[in-house]
């Protein structure tokens, strides 16, 4: 009798005979879930340390709960094997991770771990210039200020998440190391809905100094209104949604105190306000307690406002101001028929007023929220 010796060409191995690892059928190993950092870890970095992975299968659910039960959003890799958080964690906070995965046969495994993040040596706070739910003009710029110098500007900038409907590309630009402004390339399309997620909490802005801001806000861009002031012609044209509403005679800066050229954005509105020349470097040249219908265009003191002290013949014929744009008005701000009142009532915070043909330089982009005077290729460059 002949004995036939068979080689391994049949495709079955010793491992096949005894099954897969830990008694699982071949090709059906239990999914292995790893949570980093490990359970009980302390002084964990607020970014770059948390990661959940799966071997021999995929992750089906990952939840990360913060100290107050809030969930940390995250992103799962395309192959379903790696999960990472989508934002920084808070400082000196305990987090609990629960992860579920399954192998190719649908068998599930669950793992959990808790850890505590690193305390902050110091913190920094942030403020911004747009009220939640506001309707603003097409020139509005989101401007954030910080109470301490920021060194990792890119990390702080990238922690501000802006989404729009319709989709518009928005970039941030740093002015120095304590101010960060955001805008699109061109004025916002009318009707744009903007949502901002401030995720600065846990961001290390400088060594040992972490942010605390973790908040959402939104605003709506209203109708498009852009006003062009021609300092030479002494007129201004108000254009809304592509149509001229009105052309109004004005007075702008005198020869010795000309008005800035450039695109300026209305940032504040006052039905009446005091204007004291001493506060903007003009000594005692003027102090008017009740300037009507005043709207701020620059930090340095440029306003577009009503003027009741100049004669009616001044508007459209002479430039006599200390740099502001003046419209005919009445004392008391109580006559709705005046140009000053009409423009005030028809303007939004965020509307654009562009001055042309003035004998002065273009206003600096950080003098007010006037970043529209910076070319797009420079906006957002570097940090």
- Tens digit of each residue's pLDDT (9 = 90 or more) over 278-318: 777 777 777 889 999 999 999 999 999 999 999 999 999 99
Task: Give the architecture (CATH level 2) of 225-373.
Answer: Beta Barrel (2.40)
Q: How confident is the model at residue 27 (pLDDT cuts 50, 70, 90)?
A: low
- Using CA atoms, how far apart are residues 227 and 245, in angstroms rounded to an integer? 10
Residue-level length of the chain: 383
Mean pLDDT of 113-120: 98
Residue 233: Cβ within 10 Å count = 14
pLDDT given for residue 4 in this prediction: 31
Structural domain spans, the chain: 31-117, 122-221, 225-373
Q: Please, what sign has the CA dihedral across residues 76, 77, 83, 89?
A: negative
Give residue 382's pLDDT band: very low, low, confident or very high (50, 70, 90): low
pLDDT at 109 over 60: yes
Bridge partners (DSSP) of residue 173 are 181
Domains 31-117 and 122-221 alike in fold: yes
Give me the pLDDT at residue 56, please. Answer: 95
CATH architecture group of domain 122-221 = Sandwich (2.60)
Res 228: pLDDT: 98
Enzyme catalytic residues: 305, 324
How confident is the model at residue 13, as a pLDDT?
37
Q: Check pLDDT > 90 for residue 101.
A: yes
| Distance, first Cα to last Cα, the chain | 84
pLDDT tens-place string over residues 258-267: 999 999 999 9
**Do residues 230 and 341 touch, judged by C-beta distance below 8 A?**
no
Report in angstroms the alpha-carbon separations of 381 from 148, 171, 367, 372, 378.
22, 9, 19, 15, 5
Q: pLDDT per residue over 6-24, tens digit each?
A: 333 333 333 333 344 444 4
CATH of domain 31-117: 2.60.40.3780
Peptide bond into 144 cis (omega under 30): no
Calculate the average pLDDT of the chain: 92
| pLDDT surpasses 50 at 230 | yes
168, with CB counted inside 10 A (0-12, 13-18, 19+), is: middle
Q: Are 52 and 33 in contact (CB under 8 A)?
A: yes
pLDDT digits over 49-71, tens only? 999 999 999 999 999 999 988 99
**Residue 212, CA distances (Å) to 180, 231, 259, 267 in order:** 16, 46, 40, 26
Q: What is the pTM of this model?
A: 0.88
Closest CA to 156 of 210, 90, 113: 210
pLDDT tens per residue across span 201-221: 999 999 999 999 999 999 999
What is the pLDDT, as a whole number, of residue 247? 98
| CA nearest neighbour of 336 among 292, 376, 285, 283 | 292
d(C-alpha 369, C-alpha 348), whole Å: 14
Q: What is the pLDDT of residue 383?
A: 56
The C-alpha atoms of residue 237 and residue 226 are separated, in whole angstroms, by 8
Strand order in the sheet with 325-328: 268-276, 287-296, 303-307, 325-328
């Amino acid at each position: 009798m002949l004995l036939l010796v068979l080689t391994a060409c049949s495709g079955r191995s010793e491992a096949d005979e005894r099954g897969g690892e830990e008694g699982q059928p071949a090709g059906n190993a239990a999914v292995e879930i790893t949570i980093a950092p490990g359970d009980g870890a302390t002084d964990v970095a607020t970014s770059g340390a948390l990661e959940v992975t799966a071997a021999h299968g995929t992750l089906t659910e990952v939840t990360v709960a913060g100290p107050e039960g809030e969930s940390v959003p995250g992103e799962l890799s395309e192959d379903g094997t790696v999960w990472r958080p989508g934002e920084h964690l808070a400082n000196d906070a305990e987090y609990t991770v629960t992860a579920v995965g399954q192998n190719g046969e649908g068998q599930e495994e669950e793992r959990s771990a808790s850890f505590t993040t690193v305390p902050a040596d110091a913190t920094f706070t942030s403020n911004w210039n747009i009220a939640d739910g506001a309707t603003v003009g097409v020139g509005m710029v989101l401007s954030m200020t910080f109470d301490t110098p920021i060194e990792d500007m890119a990390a702080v900038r990238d922690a501000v998440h802006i989404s729009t409907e319709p989709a518009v590309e928005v970039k941030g630009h740093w002015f120095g190391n304590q101010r960060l402004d955001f805008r699109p390339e061109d004025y916002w399309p009318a009707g744009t809905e903007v949502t901002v997620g401030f995720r600065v909490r846990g961001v290390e802005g400088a060594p040992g100094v972490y942010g605390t801001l973790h908040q959402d806000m939104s605003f709506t861009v209203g109708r498009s209104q852009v006003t062009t002031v021609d300092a030479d012609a002494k007129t201004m044209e108000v254009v809304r949604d592509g149509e001229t509403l009105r052309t109004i005679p004005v007075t702008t800066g005198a020869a010795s105190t000309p008005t800035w050229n450039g695109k300026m954005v209305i940032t504040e509105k006052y039905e009446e306000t005091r204007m004291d020349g001493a506060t903007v470097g003009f000594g005692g040249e003027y102090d008017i307690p009740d300037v009507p219908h005043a709207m701020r265009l620059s930090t340095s003191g440029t306003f577009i406002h009503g003027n009741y002290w100049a004669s009616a013949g001044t508007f459209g014929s002479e430039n006599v101001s200390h740099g502001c744009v003046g419209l005919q008005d009445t004392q008391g701000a109580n006559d709705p028929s005046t140009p000053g009142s009409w423009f005030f009532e028809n303007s939004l915070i965020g509307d654009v007023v562009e001055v042309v043909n003035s004998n002065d330089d273009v206003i600096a982009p950080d003098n007010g929220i006037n970043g529209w005077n910076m070319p797009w290729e420079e906006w957002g460059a570097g940090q």
